[in-house]
Amino acid sequence: MSQPGSTSRPRVHRGVVDTLARRIMSGRIQPGEGLPNTQDLSAELGVSRSALREAIKVLGAKGMLEVRPRTGTRVLPRSSWNLMDPELLGWCGPALDDDLVRSLLECRQLIEPGAAALAAQRATGLQLAAIEAALERMAQAASLDERVEADLEFHVAVLRASGNLFIAQWALAVSSVLLVAFRLSTGASDSYDVAFSAHRDVVEAIRMRDAPGADRGMRVVLGTMAHDLRLDAK
């Protein structure tokens, strides 16, 4: 029989990890700055020192904290963070700053047009159907949330249809932050018709096995996003 309160320990541990992570990502604790000593911080958060140490260990593994003898625990710069970690990306939430959005878009501009071209060459009937279904959901979306979720499904479906295992894994890793980016761009969009038409062009190129056309169409999709987020002139 488990001890009283034992079922709450994982929840407490997760809460400490989330709290510290969000303090770091919000800038409340700056890179190079040390955490309060374990006794004071555990008292502030209302948790045991062992739960706090476990949370610090988790964030250390993600490159966010560094623990050194005698100097304590310090926040590492964002360049050290494992930004491909899905949990870390999830902590970004709606607080993506311009640098993160721009870096993500640049990465997408390098990967997604090529993935669309590969999809035009390799997509199976089922994969093409998944891409078409996501486009249809975008067209029928009755709310921003539905449109954003359908947009994510579209891009993930194209990446999977590339037939490249690394690209497919990348899609899964960044899906949480892509969802936030889509919400930002769609909510700010002044060119949604252009963006939707470009999505449709990508589908048609994949259907026709037109790799250059799929590449071009995806570049228009991403260029429209850059324009809507005012990143195209940066």
- pLDDT, residue 90, reads 72
Closest to 11 (Cα-Cα) out of 65, 55, 61, 57: 55
pLDDT digits (tens, 9 = 90+) for 185-194: 766 556 678 8
Tell me the pLDDT band of 101, cut-offs 50, 70 and 90.
Answer: confident
Tell me the pLDDT band of 4, cut-offs 50, 70 and 90.
Answer: very low
pLDDT digits (tens, 9 = 90+) for 140-184: 999 888 988 999 999 999 999 999 999 998 888 778 778 777 777
Q: Which residues of 139-161 are buried (b: 16+ CB within 10 A; e: fewer)?
A: eebeeeeebbbbbbbbbbbbbbb
Supply the DSSP string of the chain, one letter for each residue.
Answer: -PPTTGGGHHHHHHHHHHHHHHHHHTTSS-TTPBPPPHHHHHHHHTS-HHHHHHHHHHHHHTTSEEEETTTEEEEPPGGGS-TT-HHHHHHHGGG--HHHHHHHHHHHHHHHHHHHHHHHHH--HHHHHHHHHHHHHHHH--SHHHHHHHHHHHHHHHHHHT--HHHHHHHHHHHHHHHHHHHHHHHT-S-HHHHHHHHHHHHHHHHTT-HHHHHHHHHHHHHHHHHHTT-TT-
- pLDDT, residue 231, reads 72
Mean pLDDT of the chain: 86
Residues of the chain above pLDDT 70, percent: 88
**7 vs 93, residue with greater confidence:** 93
- pLDDT, residue 188, reads 55
pTM of the full structure: 0.78
Task: Report residue 174 CA to chain centroid gap.
Answer: 4
